[in-house]
Structure 1
């Protein structure tokens, strides 16, 4: 049975999803007129401007940090090293390509999550692919299948796996036992998740920027101190990406294929663009400007930070260290640890251990919420929610004290099927998301703060919930053929 699951997983990832994800990224990039390029700097401006909201609301920045908490993790430290080890330095270039294309996919799925979110009636929202599958397509059964797959992969298995990674890192020094680590993680996880989404987003807002910036500061220090070696590193990446170096000795086809395969796979696993996980966090936000496209645009920065920034930092550390010499058998997190130790001393290995701890723990908390949102989609029951929270806490403990290699196969298959469903759906629903982007474009070009008026979109107006994106009051100086409020009337529009 396990061999059949493994075969299905490999076929799904290596022969279907990779091409579908890349194809969707190209399609969305062209249809959106390169939204990831046009709004790159604008996305950062409105992201930092969106940190202040009403007391009970969740800001776009908090939602972004929650999304980053889920997919910035050990994959950024270990996955990059694996990609370089198997696919060579050229794999990094193809990770960049995947990230740039994935930013447009991220816009589509996260804008849809905003359009079809559900009001919790306490100032917060929830949503994601299951919600827009049901509301826009009328296929609740497919939404339930999607929710079940996400619950298995993110809510249960990945939480146990991340707990296992944290435990393995902390117990390597022999100061702590797996049982002690598991108990501590279970207690802290319980204290956070039982307090709800607001506590989760505040936790992510505090921890994620701190840990990411610390890691990037150290990587920047290493790059600056070895700046004379960087041209050679970049040349190595590009030469291997296109087989220019291998062409001298033959074997160019296999080498390039390995670089592309590893770069694409690790890039997709890392930033999760188009896979349907990130929209569960994006749906929680009350974005500023008051427009669903704003959250889609902001969410593109998550892909950039994850792959272009953090994964590139890891690649620079590994390649500058000289650890990729012939005969070196280190791989994964061990390679990253050895590289950091070689560049900055023994404390670098301890730092990577700490990074695994924080990255892994924040992933547990964010993945829990992804599962909660999808559980509530299937059945909005306090009893089910209590049972789910207890199971997550138990799995965190068991993950810390057990070996979990076997469950990875199940998780990969569940995540692959989940991504397959989401990609097909967002291609089908890309029309409304692109219409919303066009509306944002028109208002932005007029120098206005974009505002969303749902009655301008008949299909959306009929399929969205009545108590989300409630019609704002239209200023007296705006007629029916115009959109938005004049920028001078809105002080916060400065800097848009």
Structure 2
């Protein structure tokens, strides 16, 4: 009966009802208009705000570490398997609609990250924590809704999502190197446990080292493949755009499939609006010291995840000489495409890439859920020990489990998280607009860029001592 209930809810959220697809599209358009298309007209500043991004203090991680932590969770199996699934079901035109949803999602990611920064708190170690539960409680004064979000977060990011990522790693290693799943699970637990016991700072340092390396390696590989097939590039782009608007022989049916699968996979990949990345944004001490600075940083994260890394996977697949069946295909399609380009070595590369991508997600997922322990007054040694133990047990179990039911439970948790988060950030739109206007005025006049509560009208109240009253 529980499985039936979960299935029914997911059908409404992600299936035939597709409520979340329409809701996230609306949120992207809403914040794009309300923020004067910040993702387009301040595109260059999104990169320049990273100057000085390696600076941090005793209260928070650096902006660069927050970006890498956010990318750790975003960049996962969705970038390799999700793109393949979108293309297999929606054709090459799905890639265009992934770009569209990423463009809109950049504005949503900007808004939720600004709010995560504004309403952040200090835990018992005087380090910054925050996320949707905190801006729901402090900004909207709805503590019950904050608890609902946190429960869904623990169920999703704290437990099932990491188990699924561990399962993906174990499957890839077993298929390619015949490593038993239990062995893979034990190694993942040991490595993840070593990293996460150090808390957010340890996770951020790990992300800072690994994410740039794996991102550059994957982009570099896609560039090599592009150069190897440079003569096919014009026809590839022509095919993407013609398929995106139903101009190919398949016609209108292909158009609907391209839009649906491109948008859905794009949403899964970049997580804009899901309420996950604000936890990384809240942990930062941004430069300049203004909530909006972290909005630009995490907006860049959406761009890098979908517009760059997902596009790389699309290039690998679309420039290969393989047949796309039209049936649902995932990581196998990406592996086949890479093997077509590089021979047997391509299969090993994909196995290694998905292992690294998935493992960074395992670690970042822990950080997101751990940030909410403070909400329940469990950010102490006992609370962290209990949560870490459950998390590591789930990771080990996930490596060997059959996760069909757990996937459904995770999708439901993510869907409910997204519903609550979108509701909250839409209600907090006036605060986002006022903060953004204040930041732009400071930028225009070259005044002190530091944020002051007295200069901006916000909803609710922030935690005393986090932001200067001067």
Instruction: Indicate the SS of the match to 1:152.
Output: helix
Counterparts of 2:179 and 2:221, CA distance in 1: 27
The answer to whether structure 1 residue 159 and structure 2 residue 162 are counterparts is yes
8 Å Cα contact 2:434/2:458 also seen in 1:
no
The answer to whether structure 1 residue 275 and structure 2 residue 278 are counterparts is no
Over alpha carbons, which structure has the higher Rg?
Answer: 1
TM-score calculated relative to the size of structure 1: 0.91
The answer to whether structure 1 residue 289 and structure 2 residue 288 are counterparts is yes
The aligned residue for residue 183 of structure 1 is: 186
Counterparts of 1:273 and 1:221, CA distance in 2: 30
8 Å Cα contact 2:185/2:395 also seen in 1:
yes
Pairs aligned (count)? 466
RMSD, aligned α-carbons: 1.6
Decide which of 76, 80, 86 is 1:77's aligned counterpart. Answer: 80
Shift of 1:386: 1.0
Matches within 5 A, 1:125-140: 125-140=128-143
The aligned residue for residue 24 of structure 1 is: 27
Matches within 5 A, 1:56-455: 57-120=60-123, 122=125, 124-246=127-249, 252-325=251-324, 327=325, 331-382=329-380, 383-448=382-447, 450-455=449-454
Shift of 1:123: 5.3
Counterparts of 1:166 and 1:48, CA distance in 2: 35
The answer to whether structure 1 residue 9 and structure 2 residue 10 are counterparts is yes
8 Å Cα contact 1:71/1:270 also seen in 2:
yes
Shift of 1:471: 3.9
Q: Could you list the per-position Cα deviations for residues 172-214 of structure 1 after superposition, in whole angstroms to 9, with x for gaps in the alignment?
A: 2354211211111111111111111110100010001100110
8 Å Cα contact 2:46/2:296 also seen in 1:
yes
8 Å Cα contact 2:120/2:131 also seen in 1:
yes
The aligned residue for residue 47 of structure 2 is: 44
Q: Could you list the per-position Cα deviations for residues 56-114 of structure 1 after superposition, in whole angstroms to 9, with x for gaps in the alignment?
A: 63101101111110110011000000000001111111100000000000111000000
Shift of 1:256: 1.1
- Structure 2: runs of 5+ lacking an equivalent: none
Counterparts of 2:289 and 2:371, CA distance in 1: 23
Counterparts of 1:109 and 1:33, CA distance in 2: 16
8 Å Cα contact 1:95/1:267 also seen in 2:
yes
Residues 1:59 and 1:183: Cα distance change in structure 2 (over 3 Å): same
8 Å Cα contact 2:73/2:362 also seen in 1:
yes
Counterparts of 1:42 and 1:123, CA distance in 2: 31
Residues 1:458 and 1:446: Cα distance change in structure 2 (over 3 Å): closer
8 Å Cα contact 1:90/1:242 also seen in 2:
yes
Counterparts of 1:49 and 1:97, CA distance in 2: 30
8 Å Cα contact 2:124/2:379 also seen in 1:
no
Instruction: Indicate the SS of the match to 1:172.
Output: helix
The aligned residue for residue 54 of structure 1 is: 57
Counterparts of 1:41 and 1:264, CA distance in 2: 25
Counterparts of 1:140 and 1:330, CA distance in 2: 42
Shift of 1:157: 0.2
8 Å Cα contact 1:85/1:324 also seen in 2:
no
Counterparts of 1:65 and 1:357, CA distance in 2: 17
Counterparts of 1:159 and 1:330, CA distance in 2: 24
8 Å Cα contact 1:124/1:285 also seen in 2:
no
Q: Could you list the per-position Cα deviations for residues 371-400 of structure 1 after superposition, in whole angstroms to 9, with x for gaps in the alignment?
A: 111233233253222111001111111111
Shift of 1:227: 1.3
Residues 1:350 and 1:48: Cα distance change in structure 2 (over 3 Å): farther
Is 237-246 or 376-385 further displaced after alignment?
376-385
Shift of 1:55: 5.5
The aligned residue for residue 455 of structure 2 is: 456
Instruction: Indicate the SS of the match to 1:47.
Output: coil
Shift of 1:122: 4.1
Moved >4 Å (runs of 4+) = 327-330
Shift of 1:444: 1.0
Counterparts of 1:330 and 1:36, CA distance in 2: 33
